């Protein structure tokens, strides 16, 4: 009975010794590992900040009043272009800004109006996609940075083995190796988060672009309607 109790206590102590928290694992990676982890944390912060900042901006830009184009058609048909422009400024969305650009060109050839709307549309898309490319960069760079940290950790671990003439403690060597692997895990986590955020923003942006294209077509159809 006493022997079995002692064995259980010893096994509990061994299991406790093998338990390592995430913080301890990150800190025990050495200076190189801590630097890599620090860079990855910065990239994660940048990615999360850009994602939410763009998400709120795109969400605000995607607001669309179903009666907007109806009011515009009514104003333009009755020749009240100033009222139509005022409505566009009050709405203050990419769709309304494209419409205002088209209204300001009324009287010009349809080709010129279409060109002006297209140029304004490119500018609006550029505004919507501001800094989104950084998310794609983080998604690609973070795993490589994490892998770089792992390679550095592996080099240091095998350097320890080489300088000890093959007499290095295998426990310390294994600890150094799995600690180095944490940078790859961290890099993959950051990369996956940035990748998902990037694709989500692309989908949201495409929705606004489709709204702008539909509005441009509606406005040009309005100008083509017989008087």
3-class DSSP state for residue 92? coil
pLDDT tens column, 154-174: 777 777 677 766 565 665 566
* Nearest-angstrom CA–CA distance, 209 and 125: 7
CB 139 within 8 A of CB 48: no
Crossing angle for the helix pair 94-104 and 81-91, to the nearest 10 degrees: 160
- Calculate mean pLDDT across residues 105-128: 83
Which has more confidence, 180 or 95? 95
Nearest to 227 by CA among 110, 77, 97: 77
Q: Which residues are CB-contacts of 154 (< 8 A; sequence separation ≥ 6)?
A: 177, 180
* Nearest-angstrom CA–CA distance, 135 and 43: 9
For residue 4, pLDDT over 90 is answered with no
pLDDT tens column, 34-75: 788 889 999 999 999 999 999 998 888 887 777 777 787 887
- Calculate mean pLDDT across residues 198-224: 84
Q: Which residues are CB-contacts of 29 (< 8 A; sequence separation ≥ 6)?
A: 36, 37, 149, 153, 179, 180, 182, 183
* Nearest-angstrom CA–CA distance, 135 and 100: 32
CB 25 within 8 A of CB 179: yes
Longest CA–CA span in the chain (Å) reads 103
* Nearest-angstrom CA–CA distance, 186 and 42: 12
């Amino acid at each position: 009975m006493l022997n079995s109790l002692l064995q259980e206590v010893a096994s509990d102590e061994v299991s406790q010794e093998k338990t390592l928290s995430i913080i301890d694992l990150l800190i025990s990676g050495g200076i190189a590992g801590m630097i890599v982890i620090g860079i990855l944390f910065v990239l994660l912060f940048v990615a999360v900040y850009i994602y939410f900042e763009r998400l709120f901006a795109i969400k605000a830009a995607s607001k669309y009043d179903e009666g907007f184009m109806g009011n515009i058609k009514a104003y333009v048909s009755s020749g009240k272009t100033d009222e139509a422009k005022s409505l566009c400024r009050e709405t203050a969305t990419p769709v309304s800004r494209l419409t205002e650009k088209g209204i300001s060109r009324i009287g010009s050839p349809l080709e010129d109006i279409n060109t002006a709307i297209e140029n304004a549309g490119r500018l609006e898309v550029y505004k919507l996609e501001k800094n989104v490319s950084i998310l794609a960069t983080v998604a690609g760079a973070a795993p490589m940075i994490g892998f770089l940290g792992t390679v550095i950790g592996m080099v240091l671990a095998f350097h320890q083995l080489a300088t000890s003439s093959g007499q290095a403690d295998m426990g310390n060597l294994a600890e150094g190796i799995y600690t180095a692997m944490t940078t790859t895990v961290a890099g993959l986590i950051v990369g996956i988060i940035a990748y998902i955020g990037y694709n989500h923003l692309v989908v949201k942006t495409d929705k606004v672009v489709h709204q702008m294209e539909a509005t441009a077509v509606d406005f040009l159809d309005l100008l083509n309607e017989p008087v």
